[in-house]
Structure 1
Amino acid sequence: MKPFTKLVILLLSITFFVSCGNADDDVNFRLNTGDGLGKGKEVDECLNLGENDLILSIQEQFTTLPGKVSILFKVSDSDQNPISGLTADQFTIYEQGRNDDCFNTISTSESLARISPNSQVFSNNTLLVLDLSNSVLSSSLTELKSASISFIDNVMPDTAQESFKMAIYWFDGENELHLLNDLTISKEELTMAINGITDDISNDPSTDLYGAVIKSTDRATELLNASTQGDKIGAASVVLFTDGTDQASRFTKDAAQKKVDEADPNISFFTIGLGGEIDTQVLTDIGKTFSVFAANKEELETTFNEISTRVSERANSFYLFEYCSPKRDGSGENNLAIQVKAGSKQGAVQTKFDATGFTGGCE
């Protein structure tokens, strides 16, 4: 082989290697954007807590006199699956002041540690988006209504909370995302809206699937921006049901997928497909958080329930953990580490808080 040819091959090999490396870095960066430690950092090695099986991502933190420390974070496993249902006794608190070589364990009982309602700092909005094209209205409307009501029952809290809201939209072949029920905390209002759907609701028998994806993503983005005003943390879920493919051809698949891929990382996307006319790959790509498919209308409620479990778990994986710190005014800035254990898994995150003005007692 000639020297010049060898040089060209070498340069091409280096270019290929560098390109692959950059692609991997991009993927990791995107994942860490939504599922890293947030405002926290890795725990100091002096605690020797081991590898994290659970990821605690700090979303916000603040202190309240006379001595309360509040941390809002979400918990997921190493595969990014949300972890819900944790209780205060599963958390361990560690503090490190300026006179401490390492961290001291703070008793959760003595510090009155608790998981508090997070409505004052967290807002979660769910958009249920239903395909009401002719094929659904003529063959599976009864089953869809029953499955949607079951979804509402599972996702919305039994007692209305300002931090959990849902809106219902529908689409057919028109260039519009139709509003069925605006954002509300009322489970009863949402159920009435579903029951009110009739088989003559649509004037266009076609299916504008890609338009519905684009418009619902835009709406979720608007709601997320509005709900995060005033130092609130927000999350949103788009849950889209269809029994077919895009027929209107008003928008392209690439445009819809780009809208989903470039959405805020705190927006989750779920899809539910029915029957044999759907494109499972398209729905899987659009429902990048989770997708599920029903072979027939009798399976609809089961699939809606499966999605509702995922939506509920994600919403309930945000925790407002609060405790009364023993640190007092004059101690300045202190390190804080929080560890959680769930079965055989554990995870921890570290942050700081300022104890200026802290005195005895806690609300």
Structure 2
Amino acid sequence: MSNNFDRNLSSEDVLRRRASLLQRVHIDGILLLLLLILGAASLFILYSASGKNIDLLMKQASSFGLGLIGMLVIAQFEPRFMARWVPLAYVGGVGLLVVVDVMGHNAMGATRWINIPGVIRFQPSEFMKIIMPASIAWYLAKRSLPPRFKHICVAMAMIATPFVLILLQPDLGTSLLVLAAGCFVLFIAGLQWRWILGAAAAVVPIAVGMWFFVLREYQKQRVLTFLNPESDPLGSGWNIIQSKAAIGSGGVLGKGWLLGTQSHLDFLPESHTDFIIAVLAEEFGLVGVCLLLLLYMLLIARGLVITVQAQTLFGKLLAGALTMTFFVYVFVNIGMVSGLLPVVGVPLPFISYGGTSLITLLAGFGILMSIHTHRKWITQA
């Protein structure tokens, strides 16, 4: 009976029914489809980039599955419910960063992880990429906009605290992403141009101060290498030179899956994490990179649509900031791998290996789904 009924419906009616079903379970079909495609592509590329390491592939698949479950669970909560818990999340996130600085796990010269032997190892700074914009959005949503000077000062203090704690780990890349996430909320909230121009004018003296008093020697070397990688081709310039060689050797169509030489012959360092797009470019060429960029652009475009359609100020500020932070995430990784930006250790979203980063990204898209699918319920409440 139901089949006959479905056949009598127009294609538009069927699509509308399916869309309403997804709306009721608080899933955005477009976001889910794009994320599943990216997840499959990640495993496909990671298998080659890791040297056919099945264990690493299974860990990534497990993290993606766990992240998807978390994303769907988060999508069930209304944005106003999330807003109630934002202050506690901010305090907890800052507390974890303090724990990292005091007694965190050290690896590769940096203390960025909390390690509970036999239970879990995670990077609290990753969570701040979501907690930070949510906290600033929660604070500004309760004030008149555009934000006044005192509100800007409070927001900047909230941004500066985790920024400094992450910078001390040291983790320049993540600290800059957290800073950007908070500043994006201020920008979307209607920050006046005089404050934006003032911040732009302060970049140079701040950069000079960071060079002399904040940045460590290896971070300074990364900047110098960015300016002239050939000055130390066998040392600090090795990564970027090999990365550009891999990207260039792929040509238009690439060498083919599993046939890349730079990664499989161990010329390309960190091929399964920060420099994984160089593996993609070598094996699938310009076409493969363009297809990946298209997926990213579609995700960003969907995030902007959700931002425009958000029906609460908190939702609009948070959705916009999460979307723009994701854009910066992609831009910084591709920029540093191609030699357009200094190497700051930012992985490629959904493609690079990394459990905490993957779960955090999916949690962010779960929030976007919640903002989008709960908008009618918010109107009725």
Structure-2-length-normalised TM-score:
0.28
> Is the helix fraction higher in 1 or 2?
2
Structure-1-length-normalised TM-score:
0.29
